[in-house]
Amino acid sequence: MTIQHCTLCPRNCGALRTENEGAGFCGMGSNPVVARAALHFWEEPCISGKRGSGTVFFTGCCLKCVFCQNYQISTKKEVGKIISVQELADIFDRLAEQGAHNINLVNPTHFVPAILQALALRKTKLPVVYNSGGYESLETLKVLDGWIDIYLPDFKYADNALAQKYSGASNYVESAKACVLEMARQTGPAVFDREGMMTRGTIVRHLILPGNTRNSIAVLDWLGENLPDGVLVSLMAQYTPCGKAENFPEINRRITAREYQKMQEHLFRLNLDGFVQERKSASRDFIPPFNLEGVSR
């Protein structure tokens, strides 16, 4: 499959992407590149559960977050294996056989056509989770309507200057707002099974950045004013300096107890439903090894 003029993400770079090579912002061809496909236990409780989330980590990204915990795969196309659509469908099957609660597609935006083909080959009975940085094209999201059961987007910034500085995306805010509302429209309110596992819905994540509680407050305020009932919010305290964070002294540290408490109290004042992550989650121990586990039989 060749993508002649790629507009899958808000970059709209129009790049030519052949099966194995691409000249676009993400640097990827059209065939999926996967760095890891295994049970993952460190998502929200209603996603990971007791048996784990069947998580597929894709290589490449349409964002360039300087602090990315998955920097090894988001910026280096050499890390990961190029696979076919059939092989991706086989991965979904193997994760289901291992007892996964769901199929969790991590950073899938630039491989949407291949993912849809894989799902069409063998539509899994498990909920499909679209786990992204929140930088999405509305046109791409509309193509996903009916295929995705759970959306798990980030909402990183309420300030495009910050988005440009730390993620190279000067139009992030407009894109994130539009995509979160579209995701919520598609899934409707959160639905859970008898085990408390989410089977349908949207959870909007926000990662607290050190020294940027004003940004976090603005994000939560917008979510409080605009999210439909039944859409959950996950306030994340796991920030650990990774990637190129050392080049940005103001974010080259974990968040403080005071920053954490301030944001937690603001979340509660807004009466937003969802999850609060503990500060002890800020550790590199929770970053999985991208060693091709589960990519090949």
pLDDT beyond 90 at 122 = no
With beta carbons less than 8 A apart as the criterion, state whether 217 and 231 touch.
no
Say what the pLDDT of residue 24 is. Answer: 93
Residue 212 CA to residue 162 CA, distance in Å, equals 9
- Percent over 70 (pLDDT), the chain: 98
pLDDT digits (tens, 9 = 90+) for 135-167: 999 999 999 999 999 999 999 999 999 999 999
pLDDT digits (tens, 9 = 90+) for 246-285: 999 999 999 999 999 999 999 999 999 999 998 777 667 6
CB-based contacts of 60, cutoff 8 Å, min separation 6: 26, 27, 28, 33, 73, 74, 77, 107, 110
Which residue type does 171 have? N
Which residue type does 15 have? A
Say what the pLDDT of residue 75 is. Answer: 82
The model carries a pTM of 0.97
pLDDT digits (tens, 9 = 90+) for 74-120: 986 778 999 999 999 999 999 999 999 999 999 999 999 999 999 99
CA dihedral sign of residues 218, 222, 225, 229: negative
